[in-house]
Structure formats: C-alpha cells, structure tokens
Amino acid sequence: MALAQAANIAEKALGHDKNAITKQDMSTFPSGGESDLMKALVWMGKNDVQIGNGRAQAQAGGRSRCYSQSNRKYTELVGRQVHNVEVGKRYVASFQIACGDCYFCERKLSSQCEKTNASNTEKSMYGGRTAGIFGYSHLTGGFAGGQAEYVRVPMGDVNLLEIPEDIPDEKALFLSDVLATSYHCVVDTCVRQDDRVAIFGAGPIGQMAGRFALIQGAEKIIFVDTEPRITVIKSHFKSEEVDVVDYKKLSNSSLSSNTVVSQLKKLCDGRGPDVALECAAGEYPKSWLHWLEMNTGAETDTSEIVNECIESVRSFGRCGVTGVYAGFTNHFNIGSLMQRGIRLIGNGQAPVHKYWKGLLEDIQGGRINPLEMVSHRVRLEDLDKVYHAFDAKRDGMQKVFVETKFSFPAAKGSPTLTRY
C-alpha cells in the first residue's frame, strides 16, 4: 500500500488536530453545476494517474510534486478577505500553504507553518508537522494538487507572488518550488567560497543546486548520476567547473575499491568533497538487501545514498538532504557520522516565502535561467501518459512545463510542445 493511502487510513483512526485555520482534505469541492467542471490530473493509487474532471480546485496529485508544474494565465476569482490579489493579474503560488502569522511564518519559515495542516499522523511520525502542501498526500493536509486548469489557493495574500510583466510564465512558474528548494539546499548546507561540492542526483533540483553552489563561490561541483543526465550536465556547465561520476559504472560493494565514495575521494585530494548535497531521494534501492527491505516494509527508504554522502565528504564535512525521504531506514552509517564529525542536515521542505522575491530578482537580473532545466512542454490532457514517460526517463525528459488551454503561446527559449 502506498504511504499516502496508509496515512489517510491512520489519520481517519487518529482524527485531526484542531490547530488548522484552513479546511483540510480538500481533494474536491461541492458541485456548482456542470459549468464549473475542469480538467485535472487525478491520483487513483500507486502508479496510477488519470485525466479526469474536477471542480473548482484540482483533484490532482501525483507521487512527487517535482514531476511537473502546470500553468494558468490569470487569476479569475478572489475571496472576500483577500486584499492584495487582483482578478486578471498573473501570480505564482507557493507549493506550501502558509498562514502568514504563526511562529514559523513570522520568521519566513513558511514550510513549517503551524496553522495549515492538522495531520496527527504526521505529528506522531515526525514529532512535528510541516505546513499544508498542495497535492502531497494526507500527511500534509490532504489538499488537491495543481496539475489542473484551476487551482484554489487558500490565503491568497500570503501564498501568491505577483509576476512582473517582463517575466514569462515559463520562468516564473518554478518560483513555486524548484528554485526555492535547490537554493535552500545550498544555503542551508552552508556552501561557501572555494568549497568542492558533490551533488547526488542531476535532475532539475540537483542542476539548479549546482548553479547556486557556483554562485555562492564553490570551486568545483561534482555530479553523481548516470546517462542521459550526465550528457545534459556536460552541455550546461563549463568543463572547468564540473566533474561527473557515473554511479552505474561503479560497484555498490563496500569491499570494492571502485565505488562512488572512492571516486569522489580521488577527485578531491583523497580527502573527499567539503559538502555533499543529496538531491536524489530514498526511494531507489541500489542493492538487493534494501530492495527486499523496502518491499517487505522493513524500511520505507534506503540509506545507501545518504551513507555515500556521509562517507565521501572530508572529516567535518557537511551533508544536506533535500531528496525526499518518507519514514525510516536501516543500515545507516551513524559510526562514520559520529567518528568523523559529519554534519548531516535535513534541509526540510523549502520555505518558499523566504526566498521567492530574491529569486525573482535573480531571474530578472539574468543571474539564473530556470529554462535551462526545462526539457519538455506538454499538454495537461496528456499528463497521464507523460508520467509514465517521465518514470521511464524516455526522451531525456527531466523537467516539464504543462500548458493548459488558458496558457500563453510558448515564450522565447521554451521547448516546443510535445504531444503524447
């Protein structure tokens, strides 16, 4: 059973807390008649998504919020208590739902908002809660996702950022999540001048984390991934600023002298990188042992990549974990962590509100270009097929811009439309 379904059942048994000021479990809205039907991606269960009709807010979801992001042109309706959002203007919505005035929101740590998620299951699993998150299971409030023609955004004054006229949708959209997540990973793990930084996972988050690490003054970045991503990396970064390690060509056995860890040591004076950024996730077991343990429920996530991060960095090095981990893991190398003084930092869900204005200025100033990670432009109607293509990494797909019938024509530099 998927964790999301298990969490829903557990929450029904436990009952919600009373902390949330937003309505919970908003996966669908009451009918307003046939006229308010819209197209949305609907999560039916593990590995099963379909295009269906939703109401008012998407019934959408998806296994990972990072797969793709969809786009609607203009704001259409504004609630009575929302004062700074205007009908007809363009806004980008953060992936997290923040209240704007709790302990964490006051400190701009909006991803940990205390008033938008009432899940007792998450609280008992993690010892605390994240904010409510769009399309991210009942652990985070059971809100519908945004892969839809319309999205209803609670507390619009807090959770929407106006898009200036000189910025196309294709660049602004990623302020919602990917840019804040990759930037947060870099600054939260304290990447500094002259650091050598290993980045595990060269997908969109890893790629942008590499860009931000260089902006922070990193001397070199080293991506750990395999084809086709290695070719993409080589085409986007200068050869003098980047190295690559292809994990598929290396052994998983700690007895081998040819592993990811040994390669990273070799590339960094035998000592290892100063920093490792985990931008992959715990859902991909490399060994049979972890495959078995994950499939029998003995653990929810593999510790293999986190262990590689810990073992590869120099003593007193730093490791940041931004790839998604859901629960518990076995065979974690706590010995290396303790004996060698490794700083292991869970970066958490990124607090979008802390960074999005600054990142927007970076886009306007040309310091970052989100389009460099966007490989495909697709139609919302094709999203169910796109998910399977994405999972199979077909056509070099890595970051997807989803257009709806309301979207503008593709902006300059955006990929042309692919139909599935």
Stretch in the footprint of Zn ion (CB under 5 A) among 95-103, 153-161, 288-296, 409-417? 95-103
Residue 49, interface with Zn ion (CB under 5 A)?
no
Residues in Cβ contact with 360 at an 8 Å cutoff, skipping those fewer than 6 apart: 161, 164, 167, 172, 175
Q: Residue 16 has which token pair? A: 């919600």
Which range, of 92-100, 219-227, 343-351, 377-385, touches Zn ion by CB under 5 A?
92-100
Going 322 to 323 to 327 to 331, the CA torsion angle's sign is negative
- Tell me the window of 40-48, 106-114, 226-234, 366-374 that interacts with Zn ion (CB under 5 A): 106-114
Name which of 24 and 303 has its Cβ closer to Zn ion: 24
Does the footprint of Zn ion cover residue 102 (CB under 5 A)? yes
Instruction: For the CB of residue 154, give the shortest distance to Zn ion in the complex, in Å.
Output: 11
Interface segment toward Zn ion; rule CB under 5 A; list 93-101, 215-223, 328-336, 380-388: 93-101
Do 99 and 115 touch, CB atoms closer than 8 A? yes
Span of 71-79, 114-122, 332-340, 398-406 interacting with Zn ion by CB under 5 A: 114-122
CB of 115 to Zn ion, least distance (A): 5
Which amino acid belongs to residue 236?
H
Determine, following the binding rule CB under 5 A, whether residue 20 of this chain makes contact with Zn ion: no
Q: Is 289 helix (H, G, I), strand (E, B) or coil?
A: helix
Query: Applying CB under 5 A, does 26 fall inside the site for Zn ion?
Result: no
Q: Within 115-134, which residues bind Zn ion (CB under 5 A)?
A: 115
283 vs 224: CA distance, rounded Å: 16
Q: b vs e for 19-39, b when ≥16 Cβ sit within 10 Å of the residue's Cβ?
A: ebebebbbbeeeeeeeeeebb
Output 109 or 205, the one with its CB closest to Zn ion: 109
Size, binding site for Zn ion by CB under 5 A: 5
What is the rounded distance in angstroms from the CA atom of residue 362 to the CA atom of residue 360? 5
Phi, psi torsion values for 70, nearest 5 degrees = -110, 170
Name which of 39 and 129 has its Cβ closer to Zn ion: 129
User: In this structure, what token pair is assigned to residue 270?
Assistant: 């035998």
The secondary structure of 121-190 as a DSSP string is: HHHHHHSS---EEBTS-GGGT-B--S-BS----SSHHHHEEEPPTTS-HHHHGGGGTHHHHHHHHHHHTT
Minimal distance in Å, beta carbon 319 to Zn ion? 29
- Using alpha carbons, select from 4, 7, 58, 8 the residue that is nearest to residue 28: 58
Q: Contact 11/121 with Cβ under 8 angstroms? A: yes
User: What is the closest distance, in whole angstroms, from the C-beta atom of residue 404 to Zn ion in the complex?
Assistant: 30
Query: Per rule CB under 5 A, is residue 99 in the interface with Zn ion?
Result: yes
Toward Zn ion, which CB reaches closer, 105 or 277?
105
Which region among 108-116, 229-237, 251-259, 364-372 touches Zn ion (by CB under 5 A)?
108-116
Q: Is 113 in the site for Zn ion (CB under 5 A)?
A: yes
CB of 120 to Zn ion, least distance (A): 18
Per CB under 5 A, does 105 bind Zn ion?
A: yes
Q: Which is nearer to Zn ion, 112 or 263 (CB)?
A: 112
Determine, following the binding rule CB under 5 A, whether residue 321 of this chain makes contact with Zn ion: no
Are the CB atoms for 131 and 111 separated by under 8 Å?
Answer: yes
Please state the separation of Cα 291 from the chain's center in Å.
Answer: 23
Q: Rounded to the nearest whole angstrom, what is the least distance from the CB of residue 93 to Zn ion in the complex? A: 16
Q: Which residues make up the interface to Zn ion (CB under 5 A)?
A: 99, 102, 105, 113, 115
